[in-house]
Amino acid sequence: MDYVATQKKDPFHVLISCILSLRTQDGTTSQASERLFKLADTPEKLCHMPVKKIEKAIYPVGFYRVKAERIKEMACQIMKHYKGRVPDRMEDLLKLKGVGRKTANLVLTRGYDKPGICVDTHVHRITNRWGYVRTKTPEETEFALRERLPKRYWKEINGLLVAFGQGICRPQSPFCSRCRLVDFCERVGVNKWR
């Protein structure tokens, strides 16, 4: 998702790239997205493309066969129910098969420049580690952050915490000695750090 989070573009491209990014490295996602969008850059074109051709375009993303079927189905749903336009409301995005709150929030924030909080594993782990929220699931974290975090930070928290979580505040043995926030962090659940 990191590749997608850095992109601000067409909502359809954000949606499809986000689906491709799940369990896939950023470089692979970027290349697969480019190949696919050269062949089909709209829901209409993608809906009419054979699944085997989609598979070939997106390989080697993780679970490429399942994702090929899923994104074709999404494109056809968008054509049938939304007149070829990716929905811009959370409740409609969640009706698309395979779209959860994280993906929907990403489409809203990156594709439509609307407020949303994209909570992935990094945002969930780090905000709980800090003691800023006390939640058990990413969805609970999203709703807790909507209550506590000023709206002006909603769109950018994911990008900031993904990089922070990969470099400093790692899941196991975080680099607390390098962290500028160490004095403010409760280190909830941290038993070992460097």
Q: What is the pTM of this model?
A: 0.88
pLDDT in tens, 133-171: 999 999 999 999 999 999 999 999 999 999 999 999 999
Burial class for 114, CB neighbours closer than 10 Å (0-12, 13-18, 19+)? middle
The reported pLDDT for the residue numbered 24 is 85
What is the enclosing helix (H) or strand (E) of 151? none
Helix (H, G, I), strand (E, B) or coil at 119: coil
The reported pLDDT for the residue numbered 4 is 52
Please give the C-alpha separations between residue 69 and each of 20, 78, 89, in angstroms, as whole numbers: 12, 14, 24
Q: Which residues of the chain have pLDDT under 50?
A: 5-6
Q: Quickly list DSSP for 67-107.
A: HHHHHHHHHHHHHHHHTTS---SHHHHTTSTT--HHHHHHI
**Which domains can be identified in the chain, with CATH numbers?**
2-112 (1.10.340.30), 121-184 (1.10.1670.10)
Ramachandran area for residue 156 (φ above 0: left; ψ -120 to 50: alpha; else beta)? alpha
End-to-end CA distance of the chain: 27
Amino acid, single-letter form, for residue 3: Y
